[in-house]
Amino acid sequence: MSAPRSVARSAPNVHTTAAERLRRDGQRYTASRRSLVEILEATDRPLTIPELLAERAGIPQSSAYRNLALLERAGVVDRVVATDEFARYELAEDLTEHHHHMICARCSAVSDFVMAPRAERRLDEAAEATAAEAGFQVTSHRFDLIGHCRDCVAAA
Ligand SMILES: [Zn+2]
Ligand SMILES: [Zn+2]
How far apart are the CA of 141 and the centre of ligand 1, in A? 25
What is the mean pLDDT of each successive set of 10 residues along the chain, which is 156 residues long?
Answer: 62 89 96 94 93 88 93 96 91 94 95 95 95 94 95 95
Neighbours of 7 (CB within 10 A): 19
How far apart are the CA of 99 and the centre of ligand 2, in A? 6
Residue-range domain boundaries for the chain = 10-97, 98-156
- State residue 82's pLDDT score: 87
Neighbours of 22 (CB within 10 A): 21
CA 24 to chain CA centroid, nearest Å: 22
Predicted TM-score (pTM) of this structure = 0.86
- State residue 54's pLDDT score: 93
- Judge: domain 98-156, CATH 3.30.1490.190: yes
Q: Which residue in 77, 45, 54 sits closest to 149, CA to CA?
A: 45
How far apart are the CA of 43 and the centre of ligand 2, in A? 20
How far apart are the CA of 84 and the centre of ligand 1, in A? 12
Ligand nearest to the CA of 116: 2
Q: Which residue in 146, 147, 129 sits closest to 138, CA to CA?
A: 129
Neighbours of 110 (CB within 10 A): 23
- State residue 4's pLDDT score: 60
CATH of 10-97, one of 1.25.40.850, 3.40.50.10090, 3.30.70.580, 1.10.10.10: 1.10.10.10
